[in-house]
């Protein structure tokens, strides 16, 4: 089985699981505590940043009212909350957040009396070591490694996915072992605090992989159905339609990077695309690692300059305009151009949603890698 077929079959599991759970909930009686509590009869949902807002909107549809704690264009890592925002969050029926992404939101959740769901407990997260989320100062790959990337070894990727076991229930058991609980993470991973952001050992940027977005969608659908069984059928149908879109997006990425490309490497100032690189056989080279506030050293910039030449890279990407200065500096030093690769942590243009943002990223990456079908 090819990697693409395996990933599609995995996404199909979520459709079946969501359908089964939703149908079971339809038969449940609905008491006053389970009904939506907003004046217009909608479930009030607070989300910590745009990818979760997108998923809740797609799954919940007309039955949810959403407040996103990270405004458009803001830094999802460094967002700050006002007392009113924290108070409003406490009044929400459900709070969906991702632990270890935003310290301020983590602190608010820890201190608030809220029905908070850490979506990271329902997604197969990878360590920073697996995604290359930290800035590793190593030599470039050998020619053999480049050949391996170019071939996009589907069978090896399939074995790796099989070992990880993306089955929804198995993921919950695995995450219980890893203990993604917010308070436990603070205790266990305190030593990994760097530059004010304690990301822990896991790379939080899972949403750059459409398959993991499907895992999160499944978890959100289950939570909404439990809160509002009367509309479970709608949540089931909405999730099925969303997973179809995510599957199509995954296939586009897989097809594009299965083509012949002059390079399968890309440089980005903030190493936020580790999941994308991991799933599609690419090599992410982070200038400053996973923390967008970490300034690269002159030695790191010199190393990037060498990598740009050996990896045949012509573009230095920046996820946000706030990191443009670093990208411009590296581009000037290397003779490369610079461009934005939108990490989709916040929504910019009103007309652009998660799917269109990721499709634009795909075009930018394939152009920089000179991929030919």
3-state secondary structure the chain: CCHHHHHHHHHHHHHHHHHHHHHHHHCCCCCCCCCCCCCCCCEEEEECCHHHHHHHHHHHHHHEEEEECCCCCCCCCCCCCCHHHHHHHHHCCEEEECCCCCHHHHHHHHHCCCCEEEHHHHCCCCEHHHHCCCCCCCCCCCHHHHHHHHHCCHHHHHHHHHHHCCCHHHHHHHHHHHCCCHHHHHHHCHHHCECCECCCCECCCHHHCHHHHHHHHHHHHHHHHHHCHHHHHHHHHHHHHHHHHHHHHHHHHHHHHCCEECCCEEEECCCCCHHHHHHHCCEEEECCCCCCCCCCCHHHHHHHHHHHHHCCCCEEEECCHHHHHHHHHHHHHHCCEEEECCCCCCCCCCCCCHHHHHHHHHHHHHHHHCEEC
Written as six digits, the tokens of 85 are: 């925002």
pLDDT of residue 39: 66
Report the distance separating Cα 37 and Cα 100, nearest Å.
Answer: 29
Q: What is the mean pLDDT of residues 81-105?
A: 96
Q: What is the pLDDT of residues 290-334, one digit of tens each?
A: 655 567 788 888 899 999 999 999 999 988 766 788 888 889 888
> How would residue 351 be classed by pLDDT, with cut points 50, 70 and 90?
confident
Report the distance separating Cα 156 and Cα 202, nearest Å.
Answer: 23
Report the distance separating Cα 67 and Cα 46, nearest Å.
Answer: 5
pLDDT of residue 199: 58
pTM of the model: 0.76
Q: What is the pLDDT of residues 130-174, one digit of tens each?
A: 997 554 433 333 333 434 444 444 344 444 444 444 443 444 344
Q: Give 170 or 232, the one with higher predicted confidence.
A: 232
Report the distance separating Cα 322 and Cα 335, nearest Å.
Answer: 21
Give me the CATH topology for the region 3-127+166-250: Rossmann fold (3.40.50)
Q: Give 167 or 114, the one with higher predicted confidence.
A: 114
73-107 burial: b if 16+ Cβ within 10 Å, else e: ebbbbebebeeebbeebbebbbbbbbbbbbbbbbe
Q: What is the mean pLDDT of residues 262-268?
A: 96
Report the distance separating Cα 132 and Cα 130, nearest Å.
Answer: 6
Q: Which residue has the tokens 């936020």?
A: 272
Kindly report, as residue ranges, where domains of CATH 3.40.50.1980 are found in the chain: 3-127+166-250, 129-154+253-366
Q: Dmax over Cα atoms in the chain, in whole Å?
A: 65
Q: Is residue 238's pLDDT more than 50?
A: yes
pLDDT of residue 328: 86
Nearest to 59 by CA among 283, 215, 180: 215
Q: What is the mean pLDDT of residues 177-193?
A: 40
Residue 361, strand partner residues: none
Q: Which CATH architecture group holds 129-154+253-366?
A: 3-Layer(aba) Sandwich (3.40)
% of the chain surpassing 70 pLDDT: 69
Nearest to 216 by CA among 48, 55, 42: 55
| Sign of the C-alpha dihedral computed for residues 2, 160, 343 and 303 taken in this order | negative
Compute the residue count for the chain.
373
pLDDT of residue 326: 82
Nearest to 239 by CA among 18, 13, 9: 18
């Amino acid at each position: 089985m090819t990697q693409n077929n395996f990933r599609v079959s995995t996404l199909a599991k979520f459709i079946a699981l969501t359908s089964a759970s939703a149908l079971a909930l339809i038969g449940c009686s609905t008491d006053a505590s389970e009904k939506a509590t907003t004046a217009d009869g909608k479930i009030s949902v607070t989300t910590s940043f745009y990818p979760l807002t997108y998923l809740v909107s797609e799954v919940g549809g007309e039955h949810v009212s959403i407040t996103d704690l990270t405004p458009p264009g803001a830094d999802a890592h460094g967002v700050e909350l006002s007392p009113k925002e924290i108070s409003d969050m406490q009044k929400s029926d459900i709070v969906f957040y991702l632990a270890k992404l935003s310290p301020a939101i983590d602190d608010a959740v820890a201190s608030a009396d809220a029905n908070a769901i850490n979506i990271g407990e329902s997604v197969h997260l990878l360590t920073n070591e697996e995604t290359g989320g930290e800035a590793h100062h190593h030599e470039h790959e050998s020619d053999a490694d480049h050949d391996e990337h170019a071939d996009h070894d589907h069978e090896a990727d399939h074995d790796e996915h099989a070992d990880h076991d993306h089955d929804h229930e198995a993921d919950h058991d695995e995450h219980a072992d890893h203990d993604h609980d917010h308070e436990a993470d603070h205790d266990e991973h305190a030593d990994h605090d760097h530059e004010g952001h304690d990301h822990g050992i896991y790379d939080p940027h899972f949403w750059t992989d459409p398959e993991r977005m499907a895992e999160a969608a499944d978890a959100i659908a289950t939570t909404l159905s439990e809160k509002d069984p009367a509309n479970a059928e709608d949540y089931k149908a909405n999730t099925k339609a969303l997973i179809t879109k995510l599957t199509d997006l995954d296939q586009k990425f897989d097809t594009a990077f299965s083509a012949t490309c002059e390079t399968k490497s890309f440089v980005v100032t903030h190493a936020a695309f580790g999941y994308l690189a991991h799933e599609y056989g690419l090599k992410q080279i982070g200038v400053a690692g996973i923390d967008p506030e970490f300034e690269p050293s002159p030695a790191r910039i010199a190393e990037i300059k060498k990598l740009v030449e050996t990896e045949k890279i012509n573009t230095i990407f920046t996820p946000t305009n706030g990191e443009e200065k670093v990208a411009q500096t590296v581009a000037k030093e290397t003779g490369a151009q610079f461009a934005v690769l939108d990490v989709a942590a916040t929504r910019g243009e009103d007309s652009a949603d998660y799917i269109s943002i990721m499709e634009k990223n795909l075009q930018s990456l394939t152009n920089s890698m000179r991929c030919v079908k």
